[in-house]
Structure 1
Amino acid sequence: MTSNSFLQDIEKYLPLVGDVHIKTPLAYQATRGAVSVVNTLQMAAAEAYINGLEVPDFLLEGLFDSFMPVFFRYFPSLLAPYDWVLKETDHLAEGSKDLMKLQYDLPQGMLNKMLGDGQLIYPKYSMALWEKGASNLEQAQMQMLDDVIEKLDIKDGDRILDFGCGWGCVPNYILSKFPNVTFTGINLSHEQCEYMRGKMQDPASYLSSGRFTLYEGDLNDANFDQKFDKILSIGVFCHVGNLTKAFEKLASFLNDNGKVFIHIITVRTPNHISSVYTHQYIFPHGRFWNYDAVPSHNKDLKTIKRWYLNGYNYSTTFATWLKNFDNHQAIVKDLEYGMDYAKFRRIWRFYLIWFVRNFASCNGEYNGNGQFLLVHA
């Protein structure tokens, strides 16, 4: 018996540590019991903060810096608050309407200020690439997209599908680089689609070139007259609950020799993770898939190459968003959030501070971004 198999055999009987999928029933139930305690403590601290408890940022940061490395390194099972996080759900995505309400249909004025809204880089709610020396957010987002172009091997004349196209930043940037590329974007958020429709009428935007088609709706209902040379999806798969069904659908849109590029938050722990806080206030039914999750699904699409991007990149991106959010309080405080603004601000500051520290934890080696290049299986 090798040392690894011996260790795994021992871990079957130990709660809290290692891969929860291999636990004996007793160890599994003990682990889930401990998770419920962690969930209760997490929400108690978060609710106290968002309901007015004065906590200096450095204390909040210190709390995250103390606990997150311990969880990532030794007790990753405690970071899966619900059983459904550990496996695929029955549906491709869960809680889509709640997600739109809490996250993507917020006042555009606030999102523009936080995420940035330039002539070429529209609001982009995903990781920027800082490790190549970018000096500001716009440059870091451009370098991230240049990196995607290279990895996906985009060629002029490609027909590209963007699954979850956000505010159209990715299509706009790539269309600016390739005069014969055509793009189709799928988006479930009506507010984001309205933003893009405005850009499609703006002569200064590449979305108005006639080479961009917008589909407002769910991936499950989408059908197209053509197949695509390239499909990309940046950030959306954190909201996809069933990789098998999603890959089956995307494969049906892909040319025989086409390629799919997926960029998601990913964790290099034995289990997928989430949190009760983000589930309630930020990303309903969202999860961070384990780094091996995408390659393990190879029925309709198979992974031929993958990359792990250190969490430093997303930590720095969140830190910039936090700074932007704080610097524009005079403007964003009077917008409509469906709740008292002081509470909304605390909800979002807790989330932003947490994720700055979360992605920086353990030198960014446990929690970062995964990128996957796939072709027909």
Structure 2
Amino acid sequence: MTSVSAFPTIRKHLPITGDINFKTPLAYQATRGAARAVNTAQMALAEAYINGLEVPDSVVRSMIHTSMPLLFQHCPGLLAPYQWVLNETDHIAEGSRELMKVQYDRPQAMLNQMLGDWEVIYPKYSMGLWERGAVDLEESQKHMIDQVIERLEIKDGDNILDFGCGWGCVPNYILSKFPNVRFTGLNLSHEQCEYMRQKMQDPKSYLSSGRFTLCEGDLNEVQFEEKFDKILSIGVFCHVGNMTNAFQKLASLLKGGGRVFIHIITARIPNNMSSGFTHKYIFPHGRYWNYDAVPNHNRDLKTINRWYLNGSNYHKTLTDWLHRFDASQETVKHLDYGMDYAKFRRIWRFYLLLLGTIFESCEGEYNGNGQYLLVHT
């Protein structure tokens, strides 16, 4: 009879199950092969759906709810379809120009309809916080930013850098709360920057207050003359391939005694994860870092606090986006998507349905959002 103490030794020889980081070379390669097979199966379903296969949403959700508990709990190594997902890559941001074209520079009218576009809450392409009792998407996004304010301990008069500021929603909302806060927004997306430039000319927008500076550029290349009291980054680190270099850059921009707040999609599994479908169609080179990745990169910045936000929050956000996306078809179908609209619609429906259901699986305890508060080491 095999003793319990001998089981971990045996498991390192077994492919597929358990932590891939501790496998023998043979078991590791077998696990990588199985991951490629899983990815091939997922891509076959995705491509069939994109090309017109009619599959009810309930069937897709049922398939995901059946498979994800097995993968999260027992076979996490199968959630990394490519070798680069598991390790840092050479550049801070991988495929950033391609990402802008595929994802963030889509027709603004379509994105406004899907994400919401209100007086203070501009389109925001990240999780809304629902667990505080939000009744709709707009309120959930306010609650999420209020939580950022609390955890980053933003004070009136702070000079803040928003690394990857999207359409300026977070700066605009925080500027509305603090009359003496200054913001610099860094963004590579030309279309998002154009949206903010229009707001900077709108007297009703807090981006026009003179306290917001927009920098269109890449963290790989950007230089600032000043250092910041606080730095926040919401959602961007899913597109960052090298945390070590990114943290070195952010540390160089942070004042002594300053703080960095990072909000990312994360997985409470031993390794990072990704999806062949999202890599091809939605987030080129996107990866979801495991929950321990940020604290484990502590050369220039160190984590002093962290929080896990249950995946139900992002599930509700993505579900709301899907409903809004479906409801807007008649008004957005004539816009220029660079491809046949029917194909674009099915790509994005599958994306919203797939991710929304994955966040819901296992009651949100494995795939959710991580928040991290960091300071200089």
What TM-score range do you get, normalising by the shorter chain?
over 0.9
Please give the alpha-carbon distance, in whole angstroms, between the structure 1 residues aligned to 2:169 and 2:15.
44
Aligned to 1:112: 112
Aligned to 2:172: 172
Aligned residues: percent identity? 70
Query: What are structure 1's unaligned runs of at least 5 residues?
Result: none
Residue identity opposite 1:239 in structure 2: H
Please give the alpha-carbon distance, in whole angstroms, between the structure 2 residues aligned to 1:193 and 1:6.
57
Q: Cα offset for 1:8? A: 3.3
Residue identity opposite 1:291 in structure 2: Y
Residue identity opposite 1:338 in structure 2: G
Please give the alpha-carbon distance, in whole angstroms, between the structure 1 residues aligned to 2:310 and 2:8.
27
Aligned to 2:346: 346
Q: Cα offset for 1:11? A: 2.2
Aligned to 1:219: 219
Aligned to 1:124: 124
Q: Cα offset for 1:39? A: 1.4
Kept in 1, the 8 Å contact 2:93–2:220? The answer is no
Please give the alpha-carbon distance, in whole angstroms, between the structure 2 residues aligned to 1:155 and 1:78.
44
Residue identity opposite 1:120 in structure 2: V
Residue identity opposite 1:127 in structure 2: M
1:301 aligns with 2:282: no
1:36 aligns with 2:39: no
Please give the alpha-carbon distance, in whole angstroms, between the structure 2 residues aligned to 1:346 and 1:77.
28
Aligned to 1:133: 133
Q: Cα offset for 1:4? A: 8.6
Distance 1:293 1:159, change over 3 A: same
Q: Cα offset for 1:9? A: 2.4
Q: Which one is further off, 96-105 or 301-310? A: 96-105
Residue identity opposite 1:165 in structure 2: C
Instruction: Provide the TM-score with structure 1 as the length reference.
Output: 0.98
Please give the alpha-carbon distance, in whole angstroms, between the structure 2 residues aligned to 1:243 and 1:352.
27
Aligned to 1:201: 201
Taking the TM superposition and a 5 Å limit, the aligned residue runs for 1:219-368 are: 219-368=219-368
Q: Describe the superposition over 1:56-92 as per-residue Cα deviations: whole angstroms up to 9, x where unpaired.
A: 1111111111111111111111000000100100111
Distance 1:5 1:174, change over 3 A: farther
Q: Cα offset for 1:7? A: 4.1
Aligned to 1:191: 191
Q: Describe the superposition over 1:161-189 as per-residue Cα deviations: whole angstroms up to 9, x where unpaired.
A: 00000000000000000000000010000
Q: Describe the superposition over 1:230-255 as per-residue Cα deviations: whole angstroms up to 9, x where unpaired.
A: 00000000000000000000000000
Please give the alpha-carbon distance, in whole angstroms, between the structure 2 residues aligned to 1:370 and 1:18.
22
Count of residues in Structure 1 that have an aligned counterpart in Structure 2:
375
Please give the alpha-carbon distance, in whole angstroms, between the structure 2 residues aligned to 1:216 and 1:314.
28
Query: What are structure 2's unaligned runs of at least 5 residues?
Result: none
Aligned to 1:151: 151
Aligned to 2:181: 181
Please give the alpha-carbon distance, in whole angstroms, between the structure 2 residues aligned to 1:140 and 1:108.
21
- Which SS does the other structure have where 1:290 is aligned? coil
Residue identity opposite 1:47 in structure 2: E
Residue identity opposite 1:326 in structure 2: D
Q: Which runs of structure 1 show a deviation greater than 6 angstroms over 4 or more consecutive aligned residues?
A: none
Please give the alpha-carbon distance, in whole angstroms, between the structure 2 residues aligned to 1:368 and 1:345.
25
Please give the alpha-carbon distance, in whole angstroms, between the structure 2 residues aligned to 1:5 and 1:124.
49
Residue identity opposite 1:248 in structure 2: Q
Residue identity opposite 1:161 in structure 2: L
Residue identity opposite 2:222 in structure 1: A
